[in-house]
Amino acid sequence: MSPQLLSIFILVVSGLLLVFWLRVACRAILRQQFERDYTLEVVSANRLAFLAVRKTLEETPELADYAHALSSLQRDYEALTYLLRNAATVHVGKYSRKERFLILDFHLLRLWIWLKHLLGAENWREELLEMANILQYFANVMGQRLVIFPATVRQP
């Protein structure tokens, strides 16, 4: 095997191991239990759709419009990451390490869906469910921060 091919092989394997490690770490983060579930309050206050998307994917996956679900999750992701970055945060405009891992995982899942779409696969159910779980984690973090630091939220 030539040195160039060996270098490429090592680089590819290292990249795949890094992605595998990131996915395992993100699944461990998502198993974290919060003292209280703030999901419903954050969803209703911000008109988010990820709970409805998850319900549709779990109950009637054959009727789910995967492209619409992906765009709904993407909009919710934009809203929640904006709120985490700009609302009552301990880190004042910065994400925690866990949140950065989950943001990267969200983008990797979106990339994986895009690759599956290019290859002709139309069932993205598992990826969309995991994206919804990431959004639920973000909603709980957001709710927890607003409860812990209510004085830092500016009232209009």
What per-residue confidence (pLDDT) applies to 154?
46
Please report which confidence band the pLDDT of residue 42 belongs to, taking 50, 70 and 90 as the band edges.
very high
| Average of per-residue pLDDT across 76-87 | 89
Residues 11-32 have pLDDT tens digits of: 999 999 999 999 999 999 999 9
User: Do 139 and 38 contact (CB within 8 A), yes or no?
Assistant: yes
- How many Å apart are CA 109 and CA 36, to the nearest integer? 27
pLDDT of residue 21: 94
Cβ neighbourhood burial of 18 (10 Å; 0-12, 13-18, 19+): exposed
pLDDT in tens, 85-112: 887 555 556 788 999 999 999 999 999 9
Within 8 A by CB and 6+ apart from 134, the residues are 26, 30, 77, 102, 105, 106, 109
Query: What φ, ψ does residue 131 adopt, rounded to 5°?
Result: -65, -40
Alpha-carbon span 92 to 10, nearest angstrom: 39
Residue spans per domain, the chain = 3-152
CA-only gyration radius of the chain, Å: 18
Mean pLDDT (the chain, rounded): 88
C-alpha span between 155 and 140 (Å, rounded): 21
pLDDT of amino acid 146? 79
Look up the pTM and report it: 0.86
**SS3 for 45?**
helix
